């Protein structure tokens, strides 16, 4: 039986994250691909993922991906470093749709940026524990020296919006002093919350260190992949942005604006069955 | 048909929390009621609850309570201030078992402790937003003046174990300076994580302020309620402690020891259906 179909190119880019940190990736996608429709899912009822086990993160990632597939997206961006670190291969093996995570684009950008071959990586406990970034970086160049450290307090600090608070300074000093001593010239911000704290991070690793925002790097790869597959949206209509979440917490509006740099975020709450 | 039954008195005290903060309450129960068996459930796969909506917290609380009932407990202690603040009345109305939360015992203890009638309350966003503590305190004495403030960073600070870090000092100063100015003489620690940070909290509100640990206060009420209902365990056998969680995150062992002041915590991971 024939039925009406949306042209593939006009389908949305699907983006998911454990919560709203992934909105920094949406922001990058909006900048790089202003004509694309975007469908976002944030699992705000179970956030964060970064302190949980690989097994649980993998289970949640499959549920999140299935939800986006139901919305009829043309590509999926895993805008969560933790999921990208522990589940991207399983997702790619299981679902028949292009999937882009944060690790490979972030590692590729760092590979290009580093001159002295000494690269730092910061992220959640799960991301750092998985050693995904070091593995990808070594594939790029086996002589790289990589220094990783988890920064668990950066997520709640970003969510408090304490970009310039003295406590953020002290915490950044505690987490980053060792990386500074290792004389890295490149630092991967391996968590989508961290770009919010870019200034204080830059200050404590030193101005000579190139900060790699994996979300930015992923947005560029999404553009390349859509071009290769002839999936770029050529419509000149105003793009459509749909935001879905599993919970609407008290601070949602304020946080949404902080992360997306955009007011008036309208969202739909959904219930995972 | 007759069947074998465990005597009511020898059944466990059921305790649940969003994660492992509730282990501070288990610690208080072990001190006050050393002969009682305890069954704990921590929803570590969805922790934290304190930044989520009342609707989602209520849904999770029902699931957690049902799990403990399946284990055949004789009383339920809601060792989570957020659940106690937003869902305790619904739980009591719905389930036919004695249920003790954190709010009423904490408020009663503060009521007894305060001389000048100026009481501070700190907790998660959800607990403070619910205004449950002020309501209970006003029931006790309508002339009380109550000053509340959410302290979202105290939970991740406690989980980092930064009891004496300079950043904890700065954060405590930021959150507590206004309470100090209001000349409170009593402060309710309205989150089961906060007793871990007792020293830095005391320092920033001043040595004259009585700190009320709601978990401690609840343990005393549990003892009273079990006595009234003839449910105290009179067995002299070694008590049985069972710990169930919905996820076993990387830091679990380290955190369990920090919160329970006890090494060698053996836990069973369960899956909510």
Same domain for A79 and A109?
A: no
B110 within 8 A of B177, measured Cβ to Cβ: no
The pLDDT score that the predictor gives to residue A253 is: 78
- Strand-by-strand arrangement of the A75-78 sheet: A99-100, A75-78, A13-17, A38-42, A241-245, A267-269
Same domain for B34 and B92?
A: yes
A1 located within any domain? no
At which of B189, B214, B239 does a domain end?
Answer: B214
At which of B181, B196, B214 does a domain end?
Answer: B214
A3 located within any domain? no
- Please give the residue range of the domain that contains residue B110: 103-214
B104 within 8 A of B220, measured Cβ to Cβ: no
pLDDT in tens, B164-187: 999 999 999 999 999 999 999 999
With CB atoms and an 8 Å threshold, state whether B170 touches A170.
yes
| pLDDT score of B262 more than 90 | no
The pLDDT score that the predictor gives to residue A251 is: 78
A84 located within any domain? yes
Same domain for B20 and B155?
A: no
| Number of compact structural domains in chain B | 2
Annotated catalytic sites of B, by residue? 80, 191
- Model confidence at B3, pLDDT cuts 50, 70, 90, reads confident
B2 located within any domain? no
The pLDDT score that the predictor gives to residue A6 is: 87
With CB atoms and an 8 Å threshold, state whether A153 touches B157.
yes
Same domain for B42 and B130?
A: no
A52: Cβ–Cβ under 8 A, 6 or more apart, which residues? A126, B44, B45, B247, B249
B237 located within any domain? yes
Region B126-133: mean pLDDT is 96
- Model confidence at A263, pLDDT cuts 50, 70, 90, reads low
Region B90-111: mean pLDDT is 98
The pLDDT score that the predictor gives to residue B172 is: 97
Domain with residue B222: its CATH number is 3.40.50.1860
Chosen for mutation from B167, B174, B269 (greatest number of chain A CBs closer than 10 Å) is B167
Same domain for A191 and A261?
A: no
With CB atoms and an 8 Å threshold, state whether A249 touches B51.
yes
Chosen for mutation from B51, B166, B193, B273 (greatest number of chain A CBs closer than 10 Å) is B51
Nearest to A19 by CA among A191, A221, A175: A191
A25: Cβ–Cβ under 8 A, 6 or more apart, which residues? A15, A17, A77, A79, A102, A192, A215, A218, A219
Q: How far B5 CA lies from chain A's nearest CA (Å)?
A: 36
**Nearest CB neighbour to B160, from listed A53, A152, A165:** A152
A143 located within any domain? yes
pLDDT in tens, B4-38: 888 999 999 999 999 999 999 999 999 999 999 99
3-state secondary structure A178-227: HHHHCCCCEEEEECCCHHHHHHHHHHHHCCCCEEEEHHHHHHHHHHHHHH
What's this model's pTM, rounded to 2 decimal places?
0.92
List the single residue in B with minimal CA-CA distance to A44: B52
A170 to chain B: which residues are within 8 Å by CB? 165-167, 170
Q: How far B168 CA lies from chain A's nearest CA (Å)?
A: 8
B247 to chain A: which residues are within 8 Å by CB? 52-53, 55-56
pLDDT in tens, B199-250: 999 999 999 999 999 999 999 999 999 999 999 999 999 999 999 999 987 7
Same domain for A203 and A240?
A: no
With CB atoms and an 8 Å threshold, state whether A165 touches B170.
yes
Region B124-128: mean pLDDT is 95
The pLDDT score that the predictor gives to residue B158 is: 93
A32 located within any domain? yes
B147 within 8 A of B184, measured Cβ to Cβ: yes
Same domain for B193 and B69?
A: no
Same domain for A64 and A121?
A: no
Region A153-178: mean pLDDT is 94
The pLDDT score that the predictor gives to residue A206 is: 97
B167 to chain A: which residues are within 8 Å by CB? 153, 167, 170-171, 174
- Residue B267, phi then psi, degrees to nearest 5: -130, 155
| pLDDT score of A176 more than 70 | yes
Same domain for B149 and B238?
A: no
| pLDDT score of B263 more than 70 | no
Same domain for A39 and A71?
A: yes
Q: Tokens representing A183? A: 């004389």
| pLDDT score of A30 more than 70 | yes
With CB atoms and an 8 Å threshold, state whether A152 touches B156.
yes
Same domain for A83 and A161?
A: no
With CB atoms and an 8 Å threshold, state whether A51 touches B249.
yes
List the single residue in A with minimal CA-CA distance to B250: A53
Q: Find out whether the peptide bond into B48 is cis, omega within 30 degrees of 0.
A: yes
Give chain A's contact residues with B (Cβ, < 8 Å): 44-47, 51-53, 55-56, 125-126, 129, 152-153, 155-157, 159-160, 165-167, 170-171, 174, 246-251
A-B CB pairs within 8 A amount to 79
Per cent of chain A over pLDDT 70 is 99
Lowest mean pLDDT across A108-112, A119-123, B30-34, B265-269: B265-269
B1 located within any domain? no
pLDDT in tens, B55-93: 999 999 999 999 999 999 999 999 999 999 999 999 999
Same domain for A113 and A210?
A: yes
Q: How far is CA A115 from the centre of its chain?
A: 25
- Residue A233, phi then psi, degrees to nearest 5: -80, 120
At which of B199, B214, B229 does a domain end?
Answer: B214
With CB atoms and an 8 Å threshold, state whether B125 touches A251.
yes
């Amino acid at each position: 039986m024939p039925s009406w179909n949306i042209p593939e190119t006009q389908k949305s880019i699907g983006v998911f994250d454990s919560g709203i940190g992934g909105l920094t990736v949406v922001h990058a996608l909006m900048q790089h691909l202003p004509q694309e429709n975007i469908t976002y899912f944030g699992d705000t009822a179970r956030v964060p993922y970064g302190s949980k086990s690989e097994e649980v993160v993998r289970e949640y990632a499959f549920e999140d991906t299935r939800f986006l597939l139901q919305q009829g997206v043309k590509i999926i961006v895993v805008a969560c470093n933790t999921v990208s670190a522990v589940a991207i291969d399983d997702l790619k093996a299981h679902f028949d749709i292009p999937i882009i995570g944060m690790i490979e684009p972030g590692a590729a950008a760092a590979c290009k940026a580093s001159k002295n071959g000494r690269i730092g990586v910061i992220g959640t406990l799960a991301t750092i524990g998985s050693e995904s970034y070091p593995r990808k970086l070594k594939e790029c160049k086996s002589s790289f020296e990589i220094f990783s450290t988890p920064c668990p307090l950066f997520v709640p600090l970003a969510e408090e919006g304490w970009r310039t608070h003295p406590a953020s300074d002290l915490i950044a000093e505690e987490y980053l002093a060792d990386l500074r001593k290792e004389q890295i010239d490149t630092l991967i911000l391996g968590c989508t919350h961290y770009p919010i704290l870019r200034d204080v991070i830059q200050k404590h690793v030193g101005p000579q260190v190139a900060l790699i925002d994996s979300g930015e790097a992923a947005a560029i790869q999404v553009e390349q992949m859509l071009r290769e597959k002839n999936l770029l949206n050529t419509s000149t209509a105003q793009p459509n942005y749909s935001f879905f979440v599993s919970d609407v917490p008290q601070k949602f509006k304020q946080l949404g604006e902080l992360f997306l740099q955009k007011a008036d975020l309208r969202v739909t709450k959904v219930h995972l069955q």
